Amino acid sequence: MEEERKIKAFLLYGPPASGKTTIADFLSNRLNAKYISVGFVTRKEIARQTILGRELKKCLDAVIEYPAKLISTVMEKEIETAKSKFHALIIDGFPKYEWEIPEFLKILNKQTIGINGVFIIDLPFETVKKRVKSRRICKSCLNQQEEGVF
């Protein structure tokens, strides 16, 4: 019986506009890893108007946090797809809250994924504020556009 390969996962945390995507792009190229951002994944689901996307949009419109089960379901789909194509995953922003951890650990165990590292980006509030103010978001594709922040 062939042993299933264990995928490596690296968790990435930091405030908005802290350079998480830039760091994740660099690491994903070096590690043959898939970058999975909870923000990108949820925006994609909402834009596709899937059943899950409509549930996410309801929470977003009501300005409430996504229920742990909902965000876990959305992220599990993304993780499962990425697992078949990559040796490692860089997961940005999930789990975000303590109550999401049990569902996250279930996903990792089910998918035979181990946590190999956690990256935490810490920036002064004034720097974050300056970077966030310079962001624009495309209304049609929901991608963020930077205006000379770096």
Per-residue model confidence (pLDDT) at position 113: 93
Per-residue model confidence (pLDDT) at position 137: 64
The whole model's pTM is what?
0.79
Please state, rounded to an integer, the average pLDDT across all residues of the chain. Answer: 87
| Structural domains in the chain, sorted by start | 7-122 (3.40.50.300)
Is the previous residue joined to 95 through a cis bond, with omega within 30 degrees of 0? yes
Q: Where are the alpha helices (DSSP H) in the chain?
A: 20-31, 38-48, 51-61, 68-83, 101-110, 125-133
Which DSSP category does 88 fall into?
E
Q: Where are the alpha helices (DSSP H) in 50-97?
A: 51-61, 68-83
Per-residue model confidence (pLDDT) at position 4: 59
Q: What is the pLDDT of residues 102-143, one digit of tens each?
A: 999 999 999 999 999 999 999 888 888 888 888 766 656 555
Please state, in angstroms and rounded to a whole number, the distance separating the CA atoms of residues 150 and 131.
Answer: 9
